[in-house]
Structure 1
Amino acid sequence: MSDVRAGAAWFKSSYSRPNSDCVEAVHLSNGAVGVRDSKNPAGPALLFEGAAWDEFLADVRGGAFDR
């Protein structure tokens, strides 16, 4: 994952405030998605297959995690 962090174009959600702590994501050339903590960009990152990430986003948008 260290090679991914070096040249990757990480981004935060458009719903995030500019200086707030949140997660960052990156779309990789192989279709995978990396996710990391914005407070610790040199720390560990999670890597998801593209299909798993798409399913997660569909669940979020569908309210699966609403309280």
Structure 2
Amino acid sequence: MPTSIRLEPEIEARLDALAARTGRTKAYYLRELIANGLGDLEDYYTAVEVSERIRRGEEKTYPLEEVIRDLGLDD
């Protein structure tokens, strides 16, 4: 699916330099960045959502000592 983005000049210059230095295309590196960074973004926004639910009292939390005890890690 074709997609276009507008990059800051400094970012585009860095991308151009990387592509020239390695012989790969800018599109290759953009695909790599998206594929590798998407999981991080998903994790971040999931953590934000859970943090908000905790703050509102809608998410149960457990003290570390209880988790250690319940998992039998206190040996």
Q: Please, what TM-score do these two structures have when normalized by structure 2? A: 0.26
Structure holding more helix per residue: 2
Q: Please, what TM-score do these two structures have when normalized by structure 1? A: 0.28
Structure holding more strand per residue: 1
